[in-house]
Amino acid sequence: MTKQVDQKEMIDKVRAAIKDRATWFALLYRSFKEAFPEKEVERLARKAIFEFGRMKAKNDPKDFGPKAWVEKHVTKGSSLVFDSDVEINDQGAVQRMKFCALVEAWKDMGCTPQEIDLFCDIAMEGDRGRADTHGVRMELEERIARGDQYCNLKIFDR
């Protein structure tokens, strides 16, 4: 007999997986900065996550612009996991994410506000790499990691 998983349970499971990955990222970062200059650890972490975004973009359709970006966020269920509001308009698209499992994990670990802000910005390199690959521009004005109520990701054609 197959157990049916309800939507809330699935969202909780995905958030837990994201929190696990946020935790091991923070632990790796802290460990590496014991052995190497922190600026070098940050540079290499940003480079690696940016490359991850570029790799992820290879699985997107060729015409992956702002509208498709936000639509994929909704159709794959990410909008539920991040409690997102989405908007598509003539200028581009917006994802307003009101929950971040990454930030929750870093808070649970006792990370400082400065670490949370840094780790979040490094994590966003993935989106920057994806945007760069598709030739779109993205802006992230508000961020939960900085104490804002939500992350406000805006995607525009260049």
Q: Is residue 2 part of a domain?
A: no
Q: For residues 83 and 11, what is the distance between their CA atoms, to the nearest angstrom?
A: 10
Distance CA 68, CA 90 (A): 13
Question: Span 1-27, mean pLDDT?
Answer: 89
Q: Are 99 and 83 in contact (CB under 8 A)?
A: yes
Whether residue 1 lies inside any domain: the answer is: no
Average pLDDT over residues 67-92: 92
- The boundaries of the domain holding residue 90 are 7-157
Say what the alpha-carbon torsion angle 155, 93, 45, 109 is, to the nearest 10 degrees. 150
The pLDDT mean for the chain works out to: 94
Domain membership flag for residue 35: yes
Mean pLDDT across the stretch 13-39?
97
In a domain, 108, yes or no: yes
- CATH assignment of the domain containing 65: 3.30.1380
pLDDT band at 158 (very low <50, low <70, confident <90, very high): confident
CB 151 within 8 A of CB 75: no
Distance between CA atoms of residues 98 and 55, nearest Å: 26
Tens of pLDDT along 91-110? 899 999 999 999 999 999 99
Is residue 20 in some structural domain?
yes
Domain count, the chain: 1
